[in-house]
Amino acid sequence: MSRPVTLFTGQWADLPFETLCQKAKSFGYDGLEIACWGDHMEIDKADEAYCRKKKDILAKYGLKVFALGNHLVGQAVCDNIDERHKSIVPAYVWGDGKPEGVRQRAAQEIIRTAEVAKRMGATVVTGFTGSSIWHLNYSFPSVPPQMIDKGYADFAARWTPILDKFHELGINFALEVHPTEIAFDIASARRALKEIKNHSNFGFNYDPSHFGYQGVDYVKYIYEFAEKIYHVHMKDVGWSNVPAEAGVFGGHTEFGTRGRYWDFRSLGHGNINFEEIIRALNRINYKGPLSVEWEDSGMDREFGAKEACEFVRKVDFPASNIAFDAAFQK
């Protein structure tokens, strides 16, 4: 049986929720990973009646919800807060903008997101954690190990109480391993798990697009964290085989700028080997949704979203339940 193909609504939050549902159905999707911004899911309003209305709209278009995504608020839990965060968190989370208050209100909002996920019938909240030590990623001036230790300890102290609440609710948090987060490759993801004492409700939203251009083995990642992959994003990225003007760090250029070493691409138009990803997901027996996070500065998004859905259905072949050479045996 093929896995459900869903659409992450984060890049469509400019559209009303019902409009997006109508489009997603017409594109061929089975359901949604609902972003907690725009009017798609307003956590402060999401009581039983609100959630019932959302579920009614989903049912109208034959769609299911498998996860809520609250990346923007999650970013503020561990980050060094500055003016950038005011534009991505709700006004009631920003408050007076004093950093520690923002972080604490963001933590409470993530807990409320788990409560809303339960009302919606979803079992996973995808998102970011933020990081107090991302700015130390390039070690110059030389970064003492104690500074990194302090950052991971801060992550564990802030997220353990959140995850304990997730456990009470029966909801998993799936970190999208990503530059600017406490985990951004295999090594940092391994350490994050260790610091959080392998908390049963902390795992990963696997997204290969954040690994390929970094030079991280995105297929090995699946095997390394097989038991912790709670959700999967299908997103492609293209990177250059020759030197570029703006390298891995982007040269302070915007996405889509000509001359970048890498850029996000619509599925099938980048360098990611999705067949190997599907084979690995089959081997670890991942049965959850394959959620298209559509991003491509050079392509119309409606064309891309429809094509991406078709791409996922084509590449998502089922695992074999027999050995192909079994018929040779007497």
Q: 273-322: per-residue pLDDT in tens?
A: 999 999 999 999 999 999 999 999 999 999 999 999 999 999 999 888 87
For residues 174 and 186, give the distance between their C-alpha atoms in angstroms, rounded to a whole number. Answer: 15
Closest CA to 41 of 105, 121, 128: 121
Q: Does the domain at residues 5-328 carry the CATH identifier 3.20.20.150?
A: yes
Q: pLDDT of 169-180, one tens digit each?
A: 999 999 999 999
Give the side-chain half-sphere CA count within 13 A for 220: 10
Residue pair 130/181 in contact (Cβ under 8 Å)? The answer is yes
Domain boundaries, the chain: 5-328
Residue 246 binned pLDDT confidence (cut-offs 50, 70, 90)? very high
Give the pLDDT mean for 176-185. Answer: 98
For residues 71 and 263, give the distance between their C-alpha atoms in angstroms, rounded to a whole number. Answer: 20
**What is residue 324's predicted lDDT score, i.e. its pLDDT?**
67
Q: What proportion of the chain, given as a percentage, has pLDDT over 70?
A: 98
For residues 178 and 128, give the distance between their C-alpha atoms in angstroms, rounded to a whole number. Answer: 8
What pTM, to 2 d.p., does this model score?
A: 0.96
Q: pLDDT of 89-102, one tens digit each?
A: 999 999 999 999 99
Q: pLDDT of 204-217, one tens digit each?
A: 999 999 999 999 99
**What is residue 322's predicted lDDT score, i.e. its pLDDT?**
74
Residue 7 binned pLDDT confidence (cut-offs 50, 70, 90)? very high
**What is residue 327's predicted lDDT score, i.e. its pLDDT?**
63
**What is residue 167's predicted lDDT score, i.e. its pLDDT?**
98
80: tokens are 């060094």
